[in-house]
Amino acid sequence: MIIDCDDFQIYLQTLSMDDAEAFAKNINDIETIKNVSNRRSPMPFPYTKEKAMAFIETLLTRSMEGYFVNFSIRRKDNKKFVGAAGIGDINHIDRNGSILFWTGKEHRRNGYARQAIRLLLFYAFKELNFHKVKAEVYSSNLPSISLLKSLKFKNEGTLLEEYEENGKFYNEEILAILENSYKDNLKAKIKE
């Protein structure tokens, strides 16, 4: 599947095993690993192609079960992999899920994450008929928190001392956007 908008520099394409090498190359940065890793999906550092293949295989299995959708973020001009995005913890009964996103260090500050999130929201609200989309972000990840707030996500709460790093505990922020707050007039297309 491809999710695209004519005005964007990137598009989302279903993550595949062919993405493993580029996935490993782009995530293999200690800052990226720190912000992407969590208790449910710890990311080792350094990150190898073999680890990426095993991780992608797990993601693909979870996708087939209906609990997750995973995408590569690709530049339109050269189809280059610049990061990954997805929707996890999909709850079809209560119509919600959590977005995840990251871009490789060399691809930051280009608007790619903003465009990827907008495409994810379009997919979640227009295709999956979600009522709510949330994001769980480490409190130290100020750029992601700022980005989400600029897209009308609201802070739902703080999980105090939720994760430990080098003997120190840190908070995690829960941000969300509701269907009735989603006002993006995005003219995106979904191709199967």
- Three-state secondary structure call for residue 84: strand
pTM: 0.89
Residue 178, pLDDT score: 96
Peptide bond between residue 46 and the one before it cis (omega within 30 degrees of 0): yes
Residue 23, pLDDT score: 83
Number of domains in the chain: 1
* Domain ranges, residue 6: 2-191
Give the CA dihedral 51, 163, 147, 55, nearest 10 degrees. Answer: 10
Where residue 133 sits, what CATH number does that domain have? 3.40.630.30
Residues of the chain scoring pLDDT < 70: 30, 32-47
